[in-house]
Amino acid sequence: MAFKRSFKAIEKPKNLAIKLNAKGEQSVVKGHPWVFSNSIVKINDDAKTGDLAIIFSKNKNKVIGIGLYDAKSPIRIKMIHNAETKVEINSDFFHHKIKNAFDKRLELLETNTNSYRLLFGENDGFPGLIADVYDTVLVVKLYAEIWLPYLQAILESLQEISNAETLVMRLSRNLQNSPNHNLKDGDIINGTLNNDVVEFIEHGVKFSANVIKGHKTGYFLDHRANRKRVGELSRGKTVLDVFSYAGGFSVHALANGAEEVTSLDISKQALDMARDNGKLNDYTGIHKTISGDAFVEMKNLIKRGKRFDVVVIDPPSFVKQQSEIDLAKKKYAQLAELGARLTTKNGLLVLASCSSRVLAQAFFDLNQRVLNAQPKLFETILKTKHDIDHPVTFPEGAYLKCGYYRFLE
């Protein structure tokens, strides 16, 4: 496949011979995708980002894994192969891994859905690399320079296997400022786009994503199954969608016959997207929007005596580092309490978290504790985690959790 633009010449990666301490070696043998710098006890002096890190066992001198070396990260080696079998790291190797990832998504693609995550970073063996498909547009988000020497072969395979007509490259902030490539955030690597905004379908509901300038790859695909479920539970109901962003839950509710939906987000631009996404579908309900801080606006709604049949609270991650966990839990507790007060009797409260450092059990326990303290009785209907195109293969790869709580008459 000939791309319409050329890539900056990258120095050919070399093989590094690596030995780890006992803890690091055990982690690799168990299949964990990260090797931290303090686990390395022996390495070549001239190691560079993108080099192949061949990891040998300390005693038997046997290859136990292969990764990519990252000189700029405390996660010094990102694993791409568990060495139970011998392999050569080449274009065929990456093509096979991408095909395996695609095959895992086939069940989803048999539904009325043409948007999905094709590569979910470490969980699909591509640490620091995300690939999302929106109809015929493939968007690749790069977070690490380790992939630069292998990028062209990977992009060719991604486009071939996904059968995408257009390929867009998105870069993390660190990559945007790197002098080691000639890529730009939002580059169209192959194909054409008539508009920055691409329309796609999610379980029969129409949405759009700004694949050139939007957050991440343009949209958040991970809550797809929860959005579908909330939509189906919203027929004839009044719905409050807190932290609505582009209206994922709101639009599913409207498309499924909700009587009235209120989207609440601090970003007026996000609310514009939510309204536009709603208009892509046929609906008869009323779509209202509130722009403001979620905590403040929810308190205002309570003061005004507003109550909703369905309340969805899906905040952004509150935890960037370990020291923020306690504060995040306080925020989740506040949201659960506010949500409970905004939910009618026999209503449904849906509480979600995408903070990977707040573990699922801790989040569900917190919700249970807060809701037990409310004057209304409730029952836990359902607890969900990742959708099929966001597989989890190591503990830190699990971030999404969602609880459904029904308040009783």
Is residue 283 within 8 Å of residue 255, measured between CB atoms? yes
Share of the chain above pLDDT 90, in %: 91
Pairing assessment for the beta strands 115-120 and 52-56 based on DSSP bridges: unpaired
Q: Strand, coil or helix: what is 361?
A: helix
Question: 191 in the Ramachandran plot: left (φ > 0), alpha (ψ -120 to 50) or beta?
Answer: left
Say how far apart CA 222 and CA 17 lie, in whole Å: 37
Which residues touch 110 (CB under 8 Å, ≥6 apart)?
none
pLDDT digits (tens, 9 = 90+) for 182-232: 999 999 999 999 999 999 999 999 999 999 999 899 999 999 999 999 999
Mean pLDDT for 81-94 is 89
Say how far apart CA 311 and CA 340 lie, in whole Å: 8
Residue with tokens 């008869």: 284
Number of H helices, E strands in the chain: 11, 20
**Predicted local distance difference test score (pLDDT) of residue 320:** 81
pLDDT digits (tens, 9 = 90+) for 339-395: 999 999 999 999 999 999 999 999 999 999 999 999 989 999 999 999 999 999 999
Averaged confidence pLDDT in the chain? 95
Say how far apart CA 395 and CA 195 lie, in whole Å: 38
pLDDT of 1 over the 60 cut: no
Is residue 161 within 8 Å of residue 189, measured between CB atoms? no
Q: Give this prediction's pTM.
A: 0.94
Angstrom distances, CA of residue 261 to CA of 1, 237, 273, 293, 308: 46, 8, 15, 18, 9
Closest CA to 19 of 68, 61, 50: 61
Task: State whether the Cα torsion 244-248-253-259 is positive or negative.
Answer: positive
Is residue 260 within 8 Å of residue 239, measured between CB atoms? yes
Is residue 167 within 8 Å of residue 138, measured between CB atoms? yes
* 83 — pLDDT class (breaks 50, 70, 90): confident
Read off the DSSP letter of residue 292: S
* 333 — pLDDT class (breaks 50, 70, 90): very high
Say how far apart CA 333 and CA 49 lie, in whole Å: 42
- Name the residue type at position 101: A
Share of the chain above pLDDT 70, in %: 98
More confident position, 220 or 83: 220
